[in-house]
Amino acid sequence: MTTKQTYLLAILLTGCVQLLQAQDLKLWYNKPAEKWTDALPLGNGRIGTMVFGGVNEDRIQLNEETLWTDGPRDYNKPGSWHYLDTIRQLLFAGKQREAEAIAGEHFMGLKSEEGKKEAWLQKIKSGKGLTGNPAAEKYNDSKWGWLQVPAYDGWESVGQEGLDGAIWLRTYFTLPPDWQGKDLVLDLNRIRDEDETYVNGVLVGSQKNTEARRYVIPAKVLHAGKNSIAIQVLNFFDKGGVAGYKDTTKHIGVYPKGNEQAKLSLNGKWKFFIQDDEPPAAGTYQASYQPFSDIWLRFNTTNITNYRRELDISTAIATTSYTDGEVQYKREYLVSQPQQVFVVQLTASKTGHINFEVALTSVHKKYTLKQIDPFTQELNLQVKHGSLKGVSHIRVRTKNGSIRFTSTGITVNKADEATVYITAATNYKNYKDVSANAVAISKKQLQSAVALSYAQIKQAHIKEYQQYFNTFSISFGKGDEHLPTDERLQKFATANDPAFAALYAQYGRYLLIAASRPGTRPANLQGIWNDLQTPPWGSKYTTNINLEMNYWPAELLNLSPLHEPLFSMIKELSVTGAATAKAYYNAPGWVLHHNTDLWRGTAAINHPNHGIWVTGGAWLCQHLWERYLFTKDKNFLQTQAYPLMKQAALFFNAFLITDPVTGYLISTPSNSPEQGGLVAGPTMDHQIIRGLFDNVIQAAAILNTDEALRTELAEKYKRIAPNTIGKYGQLQEWMKDVDDTTNKHRHVSHLWGVYPGNEINWDHTPDMMKAAHQSLLYRGDEATGWSLGWKINLWARFKDGDHTYRLIKMLLSPAKGGAGSYVNLFDAHPPFQIDGNFGGAAGIAEMLLQSHAGYLDILPALPAAIPQGSVKGLCARGGFEVSMQWNNGQLQQLQVLSKSGEPLVLKYGNKETKLNTLKNKTYTFNAALQVQ
């Protein structure tokens, strides 16, 4: 390197260090969290916590990644492949409904074991647990509790988390005088799951489904004055109760038949009584991720000022601070990966002023607490209808002061400072084995942690965390850092605050580090954060985009080691998926449908109109290949990636079938997620399968192996049904030209070949790229949170920076019943799904650098809203790491580290440079792409 090059490199590095130091890397607020989605997330890949930062009561909700429902079992229905040809022939004949009926009966996965429902129902109907008849008009319900009705997200969302069983609800309404003598309609809309509904003791309706309830109340049942409504609800699993309407502006109520405009609202507090909350187990296709426990810190505060809570994503430490009278108080929270413990450190500006109680609870009905020693408490829990048990230990250590146990927790008085240690473990060993000793594991973690001071734990925590976080920095200039994050979010849509987008990109990296350390399970639909026993979609792994989107930032944003949990999962899925391939398709290799869980289920779930989607495994294999492209790690390709990719390709080599109309090889039965029903030949499948075949062919050539397979796959690749442009100039989603230009569905599955695939691009397939662009215009911008994340990346690939940034503003807008971001910047589907955070972070980087078309494209989609900025540590395919600065929308300087010595092709606007590189050498370029 010349003296000039050394000088320029020093300037660039100094500038990047200064920008990293100056970058806004904090989420902060001037009030405690009210809701779970206001709280701040911490995690070490295994343990996740949500910190509320309350003043008199601080809740910390805790998760452990392996606490799920169900247990090891077989998900596959033997011999299902005998129905494969029948389903295909029905689809070829255009008989979709008949094909779905056969598939629903014979081609879905097995559910978990059902309990004895009929025996339980007989006990409920006989009045078990009741005194008197709660349906009776004059029944005395004065000792019952109160419950908000309706609750669209279930009674779990209004204070009855984990409740299933037989529950009675009662309310009253006064009959208007002019309604006397008229039949009324009782409009309850949806009830989950079964009900018997009584008015004045008379049964007026009963249904055993979740369809709308509009029961007619005969005039003879009613009388002047107050009339009673009593509903017995039977709920076996998931959300329960009177759901009412998703649109909360529509109320449940009663009205005269034919005059809904006169509806008398029944929204409000109803009396409720739990008759029996131990229903038999309901069979489920797959397991649900579970909350673990809650930690409660309770204080006596009087005169609070200067309140602040924050999350510093440069250190992964949350802080709550405030002044009470003349004393300044501070709590620091972190989840240590080296010590595998959650720690809270409490300090005050004056000695002897730390006074609080700490308590452990759990939402699981079966949990117990016991004292281990004068400073330690143990929590044990059992998952309902599952094989997993959890153990947590909490210990308090103080500087001076006293510690004592009470009936509600551990109390600290007049300490100078205090440290609270919390561990968590389960009996999960792997997806086939639940024989781990959770008590021993938790105790070992605790002993390791308490042997160190808080300062030592904090130092080790920061060092371990920053080995990942500090590989990358990004700055879009100064912004509204002076505003609390919730106010900044509210203002962003109309503000000139591009720095907020840079913070969001770093927050996405933070969340991935927190949810996916090497040696842990991969991030699920909610990362590792969940407070519900019946979370949305089970908080599992949806593989028709959501799981994959979680890892879009991994290679690009310099977090390659965090990809490893996904690769470990793929290896396990290849085992369970091989059994599914044999049972359902009589095929070699392995297959994964559109969902999986902790136990690595791979069979189809829910319903054939969306559950029988066969390319989940093939899409996951794209991540193996991308890891190789970004790192050029041949050993990884040979020992990990290629064997899994090859087996996935062998499945599709056997699975593809000739379409009798076109003669192409097609994928069937399958879906275009999650619309259109069961079909033959969805475009997305063909794009993914072509991508898999091409990657396997290239990998085998690199490894100089499997020549015959390469030849066979190359021949079949040419015969797979191609992408097709339809009558509206759009890229067709199906083989038939049936796309609807008014369809605004959240999935844009047929654009997979644009992103995250690469077969459709401006360089090699411009006409197809234009058709894909037209499809996205028709689909529109409005979407769920994760769909916005996908569209952001697509618009970046279309090289429309301003449109890309428009969607970033939509993603970073307050979630008020729709898509956007919650107060803590969690992505709103709604409800919360973490994939939008990761998709958005990747999309911000995709505006700055693209490398999918065989060259490094510099600032390909830079929006006018980000005229100046810098980035350091952005990764590209070919084994390159890029740092650059730009001003007034123009590149100023570029630095490329060649980590593998591959040839380098650079493009910036109409400029292009080609260069042979040396391994581990850094090259500096000016705005004209001239080497400096």
509 part of a folded domain: no
Same domain (yes/no): 350, 269 = no
DSSP assignment letter at 774: H
12 part of a folded domain: no
Higher pLDDT, 759 or 493: 759
Q: Are 664 and 685 in contact (CB under 8 A)?
A: no
Last residue of a domain, one of 230, 253, 276: 276
pLDDT tens-digit map of 513-559:
999 999 999 999 999 999 999 999 999 999 999 999 999 999 999 99
pLDDT tens-digit map of 693-721:
999 999 999 999 999 999 999 999 999 99
Beta strands in 4-144 (DSSP E): 26-29, 40-43, 47-51, 57-64
Which pLDDT score, from 0 to 100, does residue 116 have? 92
pLDDT tens-digit map of 332-388:
999 999 999 999 999 999 999 999 999 999 999 999 999 999 899 999 999 998 999
Same domain (yes/no): 179, 63 = no
Last residue of a domain, one of 722, 755, 786: 722
Last residue of a domain, one of 702, 722, 742: 722
Q: Which residues of 134-163 are buried (b: 16+ CB within 10 A; e: fewer)?
A: bbebebebeebeebbbbbbbbbbeeebbbb
* pLDDT at residue 219 greater than cutoff 70: yes
Q: What does the alpha-carbon distance between residue 889 and residue 540 come to, in Å, rounded to a whole number?
A: 42
The pLDDT of 916-931, averaged and rounded, is: 97
Same domain (yes/no): 255, 354 = no
| Cβ contacts of 665 within 8 Å, gap of 6 or more | 656, 657, 658, 659, 716, 719, 720, 721
Same domain (yes/no): 129, 248 = yes
Which pLDDT score, from 0 to 100, does residue 407 have? 83
Q: What does the alpha-carbon distance between residue 229 and residue 349 come to, in Å, rounded to a whole number?
A: 58
pTM for the predicted model, two decimal places: 0.94
DSSP string, 459-513: HHHHHHHHHHHTT-EEE----STTS-HHHHHHHHTTS--HHHHHHHHHHHHHHHH
Which pLDDT score, from 0 to 100, does residue 353 have? 97
High-pLDDT (> 90) share of the chain, %: 95
Number of domains in the chain: 3
Which pLDDT score, from 0 to 100, does residue 3 have? 44
Residue type, 905: V
Which pLDDT score, from 0 to 100, does residue 16 have? 44
- Of the pLDDT bands very low, low, confident and very high (cuts 50, 70, 90), residue 393 is very high
* pLDDT at residue 19 greater than cutoff 80: no
Which pLDDT score, from 0 to 100, does residue 7 have? 40
DSSP string, 706-736: -HHHHHHHHHHHHHBPPP-B-TTSPBPSSSS
The pLDDT of 434-447, averaged and rounded, is: 98
- 419: nearest Cα among 513, 313, 549, 331: 331
Domain carrying residue 703: 551-722
Q: What does the alpha-carbon distance between residue 424 and residue 292 come to, in Å, rounded to a whole number?
A: 8
Which pLDDT score, from 0 to 100, does residue 21 have? 45
Which pLDDT score, from 0 to 100, does residue 5 have? 45
Same domain (yes/no): 583, 672 = yes
* pLDDT at residue 169 greater than cutoff 90: yes
pLDDT tens-digit map of 566-607:
999 999 999 999 999 999 999 999 999 999 999 999 999 999
Which pLDDT score, from 0 to 100, does residue 11 have? 42
CATH number (domain holding residue 420)? 2.70.98.50
3-class DSSP assignment, residue 329:
strand
Which pLDDT score, from 0 to 100, does residue 205 have? 97
Angle between helices 498-515 and 801-811 (to 10 degrees): 60
Strand 184-192 to 212-217 pairing: antiparallel
* pLDDT at residue 22 greater than cutoff 80: no
Same domain (yes/no): 272, 338 = no
526 part of a folded domain: no
Which pLDDT score, from 0 to 100, does residue 13 have? 44
Which pLDDT score, from 0 to 100, does residue 210 have? 85
- Size (the chain), residues: 932
Same domain (yes/no): 435, 461 = yes
Which pLDDT score, from 0 to 100, does residue 23 have? 64
- 487: nearest Cα among 472, 497, 477, 476: 497
Residue with tokens 């973690």: 445
The pLDDT of 853-860, averaged and rounded, is: 98
Same domain (yes/no): 272, 292 = no
CATH number (domain holding residue 636)? 1.50.10.10
Same domain (yes/no): 457, 565 = no
Which pLDDT score, from 0 to 100, does residue 24 have? 81
1 part of a folded domain: no
81 part of a folded domain: no
174 part of a folded domain: yes
- Of the pLDDT bands very low, low, confident and very high (cuts 50, 70, 90), residue 18 is very low
The pLDDT of 452-470, averaged and rounded, is: 98
High-pLDDT (> 70) share of the chain, %: 98
The pLDDT of 55-59, averaged and rounded, is: 97
Q: What does the alpha-carbon distance between residue 500 and residue 819 come to, in Å, rounded to a whole number?
A: 18
Same domain (yes/no): 311, 265 = no
Residue with tokens 């809203």: 865
* pLDDT at residue 416 greater than cutoff 50: yes
Q: Is 722 exposed, middle or buried (0-12, 13-18, 19+ CB in 10 A)?
A: middle
DSSP assignment letter at 280: P
- Of the pLDDT bands very low, low, confident and very high (cuts 50, 70, 90), residue 161 is confident
| Cβ contacts of 635 within 8 Å, gap of 6 or more | none
Beta strands in 554-619 (DSSP E): 595-596
The pLDDT of 644-670, averaged and rounded, is: 98
CATH number (domain holding residue 203)? 2.60.120.260
The pLDDT of 621-642, averaged and rounded, is: 98
Same domain (yes/no): 422, 314 = yes
* pLDDT at residue 214 greater than cutoff 70: yes
pLDDT tens-digit map of 239-298:
899 999 999 899 999 999 999 999 999 999 999 999 999 999 999 999 999 999 999 999
* pLDDT at residue 759 greater than cutoff 50: yes
Same domain (yes/no): 367, 320 = yes
- Mean pLDDT for the chain? 95
Q: Are 859 and 876 in contact (CB under 8 A)?
A: no
714 part of a folded domain: yes
Residue type, 404: R
Q: What does the alpha-carbon distance between residue 244 and residue 148 come to, in Å, rounded to a whole number?
A: 11
- Of the pLDDT bands very low, low, confident and very high (cuts 50, 70, 90), residue 817 is confident
89 part of a folded domain: no
The pLDDT of 685-698, averaged and rounded, is: 98
